[in-house]
């Protein structure tokens, strides 16, 4: 049996001398693991299909519950991402997070769209904020959302000029005196409000770095998984 899927290549592992095992995030069937033969050869026609961040229509042959890529037609390569080390690690962080937050053949078209939109944003502009925006949306979609709104305890409106707290368990910001969570800066809060599409103050470079560090720890707590690419990206910033 053959199936066609629109998919983003989010992970590749060497298998044997010339083959690879791909993890594909599809619009139709969620995450799929598929083998692809001969792509480590210089002349391989499907070499592009095993490249990082390849967006393509993949034709898969299914046999005994296992899939093999037999054809592919590329839609986007996100080539600019592969030419910039910062963008590369930001995009790798996106793919690694998406892999953790999705499951084999459990359809998640919205997650697929978030990934594609995130990669396009990384190509076009600031990859750091694009990653923050992706993680914010992907966590919310997976049931791990947080709110950069009013204080979760007293209901007071917060701003980007004060020191706040963030409750990792509840995923909520509080006034410094109201809560007992981790201390966070106002610039972190402002950045995460911007990622949620809420009114905010200036989004600073320092605020983006701090927001990513907070998201890294929050992601690890909620998913019990460390995003290695994100730690490397933060080291590069």
Q: Token pair of 79, please?
A: 């080539």
Residue 223, domain extent: 80-236
pLDDT tens digits, the chain, 237 residues: what are they?
899 999 999 999 999 899 999 999 998 899 999 999 999 998 899 999 999 999 999 999 999 889 999 999 999 989 899 899 999 999 999 999 999 999 987 888 999 999 999 999 999 989 999 999 999 999 999 999 998 989 999 999 987 778 999 999 999 999 999 988 989 999 999 999 999 998 887 899 999 999 999 999 999 999 999 999 999 999 999
Whether 67 contacts 35, CB under 8 Å: yes
**Using CA atoms, how far apart are residues 115 and 135, in angstroms rounded to an integer?**
10
Q: Are residues 43 and 104 in the same domain?
A: no
**Using CA atoms, how far apart are residues 195 and 230, in angstroms rounded to an integer?**
17
Q: Token pair of 12, please?
A: 């590749």
Q: Are residues 93 and 145 in the same domain?
A: yes
Q: Are residues 216 and 100 in the same domain?
A: yes
| CATH code, 61 | 2.40.50.140
Total number of domains constituting the chain? 2
């Amino acid at each position: 049996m053959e199936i066609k899927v629109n998919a983003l290549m989010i992970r590749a592992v060497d298998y044997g001398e010339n083959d690879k095992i791909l993890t594909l995030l599809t619009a139709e069937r969620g995450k799929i693991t598929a083998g692809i033969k001969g792509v480590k050869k210089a002349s391989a026609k499907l070499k592009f299909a095993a490249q990082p961040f390849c967006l393509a229509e993949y034709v898969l042959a299914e046999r005994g519950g296992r899939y093999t890529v037999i054809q592919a037609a590329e839609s986007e390569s996100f080539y600019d991402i592969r030419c910039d080390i910062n963008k590369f690690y930001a995009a790798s962080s996106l793919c690694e997070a998406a892999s953790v937050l999705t499951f084999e053949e459990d359809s998640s078209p919205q997650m697929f769209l978030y990934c594609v939109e995130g990669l396009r944003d990384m190509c076009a502009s600031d990859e750091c904020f694009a990653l923050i925006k992706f993680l914010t949306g992907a966590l919310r979609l997976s049931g791990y959302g947080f709110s950069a709104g009013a204080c979760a305890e007293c209901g007071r409106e917060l701003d980007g000029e004060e020191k706040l707290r963030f409750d990792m368990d509840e995923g909520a910001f509080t006034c410094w005196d109201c809560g007992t969570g981790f201390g966070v800066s106002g610039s972190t809060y402002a950045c995460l409000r911007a990622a949620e599409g809420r009114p905010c103050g200036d989004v600073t470079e320092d605020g983006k770095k701090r927001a990513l560090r907070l998201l890294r720890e929050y992601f690890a707590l909620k998913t019990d998984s460390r995003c290695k690419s994100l730690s490397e990206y933060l080291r590069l910033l």
